[in-house]
Amino acid sequence: MLIIRLWNYFRGYVIIRIEGLTLERFINLAAINNVYLWDIERYDYTTLEAKVSLKGVKELREIILKAGCRLNIISKEGLPFLLSRLRKRKMLAIGFVLVIGVIFFLTSFIWNIEINSTGDLNEEELIEYLNKEGIKIGIKKSIIEEEELKINILEKFEDIAYVNINIKGTNLVIELKERSYITEDETIDKNKPCNIVASKKGIIEKTIAKNGNVVVEKGEIVEKGQLLITGIVQNDLEENILLVHANGEILARTYYTNTIKEPIVKEIQEETGEKYFSREIKIGNKSIHLKNGDIPFENYIEYIDDKEKGFYSIIPFDVITHEYREVKNKTIKQNVDSLKESLNVIITQKTMKEIPENSQVVSKDIEFETEDNFLIAKIQLELIEDIGKIEYIKEELYDKPEEDIEENEEE
């Protein structure tokens, strides 16, 4: 039946009202003459309403005469009538076309630049660079040459190992992967002779020299800057001096201390739940703050509803909501034992972040002290870490012997 309905809708139909005394006769005549009537509804003894196709209406004229009724067309329904009605309303059609046009037009621009990076890359720098290249919010999509931009970014930013640029709708999505340095620090010039010196105080645990001569022993206490592996190699037999790029690991026991202070009696701000709102209307750079009287709180925290608007940021009109939450200052005395426990966790986590990555913790010692109103936590970590640091040898000092070597070799 739905198909018939649809068919009728596309073909167009009329709702007719028949008035007369012999309505049953009219219906029968219509049925016999193959005029399809539907939704026949009797209103009262002399009137009924029915739906009939456009073609059927013409055929009904004869039947009406035979049955002695009167026919009124109440309304015309269906697609053909709808179209003819729309034809009269030109502005509507123009508006429709215009809306579609505007949507097409607007979607041909970039309205949002999204940078997805894995590391802590300086995104602002990249955005600045993109802006300089002419890629900013509001440019046409067709301007962007993805391949070229990719190459440019890779050339400009050495830290970026991989770039993928995607245009998704009106979003420009830049995916980045930072270069990770697995190998040794590239800033070290391997051809330059150097010494390894201590970067901090410590007790030597183990020495592994890959190049150069170790000048310290296990158990020795070294000061900061003390020579550990020398790059000046002297042969016992010959008195020539050879300069090498010293390399090796010096593992030493070092100590690391850290303290944090936490007041036992603490003043905190507690929200009371009372709120006060005000609105600020922003037009361009100017703003009007609409306030309904003064803020009725003595102490409060202000929250500004400052959300990222993306596309709408172009419109120089904005309503900012300020929210004021009333707070009460409260002094609370904290339980020393639980404070100690929490400080223990905090200081350990904090210190673990600060210590060098490849070090090994041998022991941990935390002490607590109370002083006036404060609880002081002191942590001492015993670490085993590589304390070696490269120090280049000034070659000028040894220039002469080197020449000698060459001469010797020639001989």
Binding site for another protein (CB under 8 A): 23-24, 27-28, 30-32, 34, 36-42, 45, 48
Give CA 387 to chain center in angstroms: 39
Question: For residues 180 and 159, what is the distance between their CA atoms, to the nearest angstrom?
Answer: 8
Name the helix (H) or strand (E) containing 350.
helix 336-354
Name the helix (H) or strand (E) containing 386.
strand 374-386
Between 39 and 62, whose beta carbon lies closer to another protein?
A: 39
Between 44 and 354, whose beta carbon lies closer to another protein?
A: 44
Closest approach, Cβ 27 to another protein, in A, equals 5
Beta carbons of 204 and 385 less than 8 angstroms apart: no
Between 63 and 160, whose beta carbon lies closer to another protein?
A: 63
Closest approach, Cβ 21 to another protein, in A, equals 13
Give CA 226 to chain center in angstroms: 47
Closest approach, Cβ 52 to another protein, in A, equals 11
Closest approach, Cβ 80 to another protein, in A, equals 21
Closest approach, Cβ 279 to another protein, in A, equals 55
Name the helix (H) or strand (E) containing 206.
strand 202-211
In the block, residue with structure tokens 């002419």: 134
Closest approach, Cβ 41 to another protein, in A, equals 5
Residue in 68, 31, 27 with CA at minimum distance from that of residue 48: 27
Between 3 and 32, whose beta carbon lies closer to another protein?
A: 32
Between 30 and 163, whose beta carbon lies closer to another protein?
A: 30
Backbone angles phi, psi at 160, to 5 degrees: -90, 125
Between 4 and 301, whose beta carbon lies closer to another protein?
A: 4
Single-letter residue type at 176 = L
Closest approach, Cβ 26 to another protein, in A, equals 9
Closest approach, Cβ 31 to another protein, in A, equals 5
Beta carbons of 175 and 121 less than 8 angstroms apart: no
Question: For residues 173 and 168, what is the distance between their CA atoms, to the nearest angstrom?
Answer: 7
- Report CA Rg, the chain: 44
Between 42 and 200, whose beta carbon lies closer to another protein?
A: 42
Beta carbons of 365 and 299 less than 8 angstroms apart: no
Burial 226-252 (b: 16+ CB within 10 A, else e): ebbbbbbeeeeeeeebbbbbbbbbbbb
Between 31 and 352, whose beta carbon lies closer to another protein?
A: 31
Beta carbons of 383 and 360 less than 8 angstroms apart: yes
> SS3 of 238, please?
coil
Residue in 149, 169, 170 with CA at minimum distance from that of residue 160: 149
Closest approach, Cβ 82 to another protein, in A, equals 23
Between 48 and 110, whose beta carbon lies closer to another protein?
A: 48
